[in-house]
Amino acid sequence: MRIHCSKKMLTAIKNSDGIFGDSKVAIDMDYDHATDSDELYDWHANVVELTRATVLVVLMNDKTYYPIVCGPIRLSKINRFLADFQSNLLQLMQETKIPERIREDYVNNCKNVTFTKTLNHSKVSQLSSIGSDALHYVYYEDLNIKDIDPISISVWLSDIYRTKDGVFQKPIDLWLEEW
């Protein structure tokens, strides 16, 4: 699995304590997208500041624009988001009735992670939009940091139309078509 990180996300990862749980992690700034094009295992990631020290990590699947929110996380402990990502991903796949075997296979294939810089400005703009929408959700619902439920935010975000290949589509519909 590759996670294409915004500059802010890469800086936070480099400044973290470097412990990523049971995932094997590499940082590859020279990654060439043309060598491997399975976008179902490619995600874009960014941090959305809630306070100076606390963030949400927003990830978007490159193929389907399906969003997953992790956090809230202290910026100094940003590396802990991978465990949240895998847990939230599994829970969201279960809620969308994706068969257990497929869920387990996909999440197991997400254990080896390569962080890279972002490669595609159109995906970064979609990711920025998702991040803004996530922040809007938190403020609109007037949530305290301890009350934030990343699963609820992810479900809400997956039902908002996004532009993919010039067509407005819901990420949840594109995500379910893949399985």
pLDDT value at 36 more than 70: no
Q: What pLDDT is recorded for position 132?
A: 96
Q: What pLDDT is recorded for position 169?
A: 93
Q: What pLDDT is recorded for position 122?
A: 82
pLDDT value at 51 more than 60: yes
Q: What is the mean pLDDT of residues 103-120?
A: 84
Q: What pLDDT is recorded for position 96?
A: 86
Structure-token pair, residue 143: 């949530």
CATH number for the domain running over 2-177: 3.30.420
Q: What b/e readout covers 21-50, taking b as 16+ CB neighbours within 10 angstroms?
A: eeeebeeeeebeeeeeeeebbbbbbbbbeb
pLDDT value at 39 more than 80: yes
Q: What percent of the chain has pLDDT over 70?
A: 89
Q: Where are the domains of the chain?
A: 2-177
Is this prediction's pTM over 0.75?
Answer: yes
Query: What is the dihedral sign for C-alpha 23, 27, 33, 39?
Result: positive
Q: What pLDDT is recorded for position 37?
A: 63
Mark out the alpha helices in 16-141 (DSSP H runs).
Answer: 81-95, 100-108, 121-140
pLDDT value at 35 more than 70: no
Mark out the alpha helices in 96-120 (DSSP H runs).
Answer: 100-108
